[in-house]
Amino acid sequence: MALPFLFLPPLDHGTIGRAQSRSGKRFSAAPSSMKNIRIRLGALALFLGVFPFFLPRRPRIARRILIRADRSHIFPLINDLRNWPRWTAWNQRQEIEYHYEGPPAAAGATQHWRSSGHSGVLHMTQSHEGERIAYTLTIDDRWLLEGAISLEEIAPHQTRVLWIARWHGAVWPWARYMDLMMMGWIGRDFSAGLENLRKLAETTAPVLEAVG
């Protein structure tokens, strides 16, 4: 019986050489690719390790909005803490219990609040009629934020509102990633709150006293 391999065509040594060459190139490319991956991972790890050192030790958030209303119309909404639940974003996102102490508005007014996961105290520290208020916010007896809302009349019946907050960042550099996330969360709530304030101020009659 004739063996099958005897009927195969003769081997082309040139073809074999080219195939081996291509195979060698293919296998030699794998270590190079792994090396590039290791370099990129190392660069990423270096960036993540060094980046926190360039984050601010005292983070600051600022958001602005233009409201078509007089300052005298907007000011009671920010000066009396009993009005804050009407426009702040966090009040609309979750159920919050409030109680108050001290004067109803202006410096000295204090709002205690509690939600399902957190509690805190908002205390008004400054109040300049029709212009600006300042406050401190303590959350879970761990974080202390300082904030202010200012009103600037730029034209008749047009007011620019600026809301800022700042706090002392983490001492440990890598913990500042939490500060970075807080900046995103607070900035989102400030933007939403100012939009709610704009709608409230532009669609309601002038506020003479707090609701509630």
Tell me the DSSP string of 6-32. GGSPPP-HHHHHHHHHHHHHHHHHHHH
For residues 38 and 98, membership in a common domain is answered with: no
100 and 44 assigned to the same domain: no
Instruction: Report yes or no on 25 lying in a domain.
Output: yes
Residue at 3 is within a domain = no
**87 and 26 housed in the same domain:** no
DSSP state of 115: -
Domain hosting residue 42, numbered range: 12-50
21 shares its domain with 89:
no
Is the per-residue pLDDT at 54 higher than 70? Answer: no
User: Would 211 be classed as within a structural domain?
Assistant: no
Any domain includes 109? yes
- Looking at the fold, whether 21 and 100 belong to one and the same domain comes out as no
Which percentage of the chain shows pLDDT scores above 70? 67
Evaluate if residue 100 carries a pLDDT over 50.
yes
Residue linked to tokens 């190139």 = 25
Angle of helix 71-79 relative to helix 176-203, nearest 10 degrees?
130
Number of domains in the chain: 2
CB 172 within 8 Å of CB 39:
no
Q: Say whether both 136 and 182 belong to one domain.
A: yes
Same structural domain, 99 and 179: yes
Which pLDDT band holds residue 171 (cuts at 50, 70, 90)?
low
- Let me know whether 98 and 123 are in one domain: yes
pLDDT of residue 4 exceeding 90, the answer is no
- pLDDT surpassing 90 at residue 56: no
In a 3-state reduction of DSSP, which class is residue 114? Answer: strand
Single-letter residue type at 11: L
User: Which one has a higher pLDDT value, 117 or 151?
Assistant: 151
* Beta-bridge mates of residue 149: 133, 163
> What is the pLDDT of the chain when averaged over all its residues?
80
> What local confidence, expressed as pLDDT, does residue 170 receive?
57
The CATH number that applies at residue 100 is: 3.30.530.20
In a 10 Å sphere around its CB, with 0-12 CB exposed, 13-18 middle and 19+ buried, how is residue 84 labelled?
buried
In a domain, 101, yes or no: yes
The verdict on residue 212 lying in a domain is no
Decide which of 178 and 49 is more confident.
178
CA distance 55 to 62: 16
| Burial state string for 32-58 with b = 16 or more CB within 10 A and e = fewer than 16 | eeeeeeeeeeeeeeeeeeeebeebeee
Is the predicted pLDDT of residue 53 greater than 60, yes or no? no
Given the structure tokens 């996961």, which residue do they identify?
117
Provide the pLDDT for residue 167.
82
Alpha-carbon dihedral sign for residues 35, 39, 45, 48: negative
Average pLDDT over residues 58-78: 94
Which candidate, 144, 67, 88, 81, places its Cα nearest to that of 111?
A: 81
Q: Which helix (H) or strand (E) holds 74?
A: helix 71-79
Q: Are residues 172 and 148 in the same domain?
A: yes
pLDDT at 16 over 50: no
Does position 12 have pLDDT exceeding 60, yes or no?
no
Pair (110, 18) in one structural domain: no
Torsion angle of the four alpha carbons 160, 138, 86, 182, in this order, in degrees rounded to the nearest 10: 60
Which H/E stretch holds residue 36?
Answer: helix 13-50
Task: Return the higher-pLDDT residue of 18 and 133.
Answer: 133
Within-domain flag for 7? no
